[in-house]
Amino acid sequence: MQSITRLLTIAVLFISAGSFLVADEGMWMPQQIPDLAPKLKAMGFTGNPAAFADLTGHPMGAVVSLGGCSASFISPEGLIVTNHHCAVGALQYNSTPQKNLLVDGFLAKTRDEEISNGPGARVYVTQSVKDVTEAITGQIDPKLDDRQRHDLTDRRIKERTAACEAGGLRCRVASFFGGHKYYEIAQLEIQDVRTVYAPAVGIGNFGGETDNWRWPRHTGDWSFFRAYVGKDGKPAPYSKDNVPFKPRQILKIQPAGVKSGDLVFVVGYPGRTQRHQTYEEVKLTTEWTFPRTIKNYQDQIAILEEIGKQDKELQIKAASRLRGLNNTLTNRRGMLEGLVKGGILAQKQKAQKDLETWIAADPARAKQFGDVLPALRALQAEIEKTRERDAVFAQLFSSSTLLTSAQSAYLLSIEKAKANDMDRESSYQQRDWSRIREGQERIQRTLDARLDRVLLRYALGLAAELPADQRIAPLDKAAGLTPGMAKSDAAKAIDSYLDKLYAGTKMADRDYRLALFDKPTSEILATKDSFVELAYALDPMYQAERVADKKRQGADSRLRPRYMQALLQKEGGLVAPDANSTLRVTFGQIKGVDSKDGLYWKPFTTLAGIEQKHTGEGEFDAPARELAAIKAFRGGKKTPFLHPEVGDVPVDFLSSVDTTGGNSGSPTLNGKGELVGLLFDGTFDTIASDFLYDKVRTRSIHVDFRYALWVMSEVDGAGHLLKEMGVLD
């Protein structure tokens, strides 16, 4: 067992057992779970909570990250299960107009048929977590200015990371509680990941965007990968000679599943929550960021859907981006509704006023914390001065793959020229070079100048509308844009500029683009490539923003830990830190919820719902073979995957576990640590719990693994995988 330091030692963070029964809130660090023993016992848990603090033991050693989704090992031969939507990138990478895996699904009958997920695919297995707070923030001279403070902590993080990775691991130093604590996380990085099985879209994404984030749900959101390593058992890039990885721990499948009221755990890597943000930060999100994102994503979706009608190849290339845009769009709508109509913003405002009153009520507290919130407000106000320009500037790069590639090649050449890796920007150190190259190789499968152009055209249109005091001057000069320009004139100028921009580049050519990443700065600029020239023209502004951001981070690192200390002291109790893509444990019960007046959501959906929703077209088009299997079941064909409570094969279920984005694919475990489902969503009406947890109505949606087993057995002919998982003899 790896040595893990307790999260926080200050006395105010410990709470009496009598307060544990309030709710299921909390994305807990594994080492916090033993302190939650009273609550777990009250919920019927009879196991040893300390098992969750052993990252290499069962069940924690079986849970992995895919770098955006969660997953788990379910066989001694490196078989991994995650969500179907977490496999979209891999399916897209391997799809063609003639063989569209995004629609048809995929099943490898043998190991030789398993297909590579492509360059950059990873499986991360957490090995240890170590408290390094003192090494990062200890002994800092208070006389250092904000930029100097940032640079010092940044260098310390790089040094810790480099020392950790000397053992062949992939490491990161993560901030918890706003920089109040820092932990070093060491992970085994598996580089050869292959797709084994994913159901057809009519199962894996049944209901599509109509049902997304909604209940009742009838989606078979699962897929299977396999991790491969070199013959020596060590991580290695893809090779036909590689062999399946042998995990230390695997999860046992429990075909009997769960029933209403059962205790369940979800273990995974939740992305980001904002429960500890200030009121001003949440206000900005509510009044500006989310409304802008919603409008922006609606526009981009319409653009991509229209151009995708031109041919199937464009549809495939745009598919992953479209699904991501749609998913985020629905999410942001739900969050905004919760923040405004649900009253979360008002509750955050009240909570902050209460905090300020609490600080002012005691002279010692006023002295220690009285300046923090005003200073954080000042930082926030500074950010808001140029928010429109900064957002559009960032969107230029996120819109155009060609522009981003040109910028990356240029920036990498500058960082490579530095003699010391510690002096390089953190995303361009030597540890990142192979990843950067892999990313450039991978994008070739989705890169198309037509897609690139329409999205960049949209971003340029936003730039043309910027107010006079927030212009992107180099872009104005290049494209011939001026403040207050008529939309029709701006559109003509933009189209004329884009004609020249795309005519003057070779960035869409894989070999040309990759070659740039091996060249020094002078040779890159000597190409006179139009996208390189644009990236170079925008670089002074990019560098100025980066300098300003580092200064703000330095200032924030002085203030945020004290803000969090005040917040924690006032709240009392054992508090879970905001999610930050590190390994977490959450737990709750299988249970429905009173959704609206007169409407109760039952905790399980069944095959009956698929029959009822099936229309034979669009998002509700279940495969004919599944409908035939349901008909056979209705005709009396026996199945071991029947749920007695509902008298049918269960499809999805609700629980009160606390989850967010990044938890997708997380294993849902029963009280014995056995796999019973996969977490894949929250409910639309409580998505805003990322900002303030709804202790009564928050629910998460899981695919019931009995449905996966039934489909594998009766629909897709995946009996060999059932045997590998130990479900069948």
Active site residues: 85, 221, 664
What span, in angstroms and rounded, lies between the C-alpha atoms of 284 and 297? 18
Give strand ranges (E) for 57-122. Answer: 63-65, 70-73, 79-82, 106-107, 115-116
668 within 8 A of 675, measured Cβ to Cβ: yes
Q: How far apart, in Å, are the Cα atoms of 182 and each of 132, 217, 586?
A: 6, 39, 21
574 within 8 A of 37, measured Cβ to Cβ: no
What span, in angstroms and rounded, lies between the C-alpha atoms of 710 and 466? 55
Contacts of 174 (CB under 8 A, 6+ apart): 182, 183, 185, 580, 581, 582
C-alpha 524 chain-centroid distance: 33
Amino acid at 328: T
Q: In 3-state terms, what secondary structure has residue 253?
A: strand
What span, in angstroms and rounded, lies between the C-alpha atoms of 566 and 575? 13
Sign of CA dihedral 319, 67, 180, 679: positive
Contacts of 237 (CB under 8 A, 6+ apart): 191, 192
What span, in angstroms and rounded, lies between the C-alpha atoms of 711 and 629? 9
36 within 8 A of 15, measured Cβ to Cβ: no
583 within 8 A of 275, measured Cβ to Cβ: no
C-alpha 424 chain-centroid distance: 26
Tokens of 228: 């491969």
Tokens of 219: 């989606």
Q: In 3-state terms, what secondary structure has residue 123?
A: strand
Please report, to the nearest 10 degrees, the dihedral formed by the alpha carbons of residues 403, 406, 410, 411 taken in order: 50
Biggest CA–CA distance in the chain, Å, is 79
- For the chain, the distance separating the N- and C-terminal CA atoms, rounded to the nearest angstrom, is 33
C-alpha 344 chain-centroid distance: 23
* Residue 465 burial (10 A CB sphere; 0-12, 13-18, 19+): middle
* Residue 340 burial (10 A CB sphere; 0-12, 13-18, 19+): middle
In SS3 terms, 494-549 reads as HHHHHHHHHHCCCCCCHHHHHHHCCCCHHHHHHCCCHHHHHHHHHHHHHHHHHHHH
Q: How far apart, in Å, are the Cα atoms of 180 and each of 13, 515, 557, 709?
A: 13, 43, 9, 45
* Residue 45 burial (10 A CB sphere; 0-12, 13-18, 19+): middle
235 within 8 A of 229, measured Cβ to Cβ: yes
Beta bridge partners of 586: 266
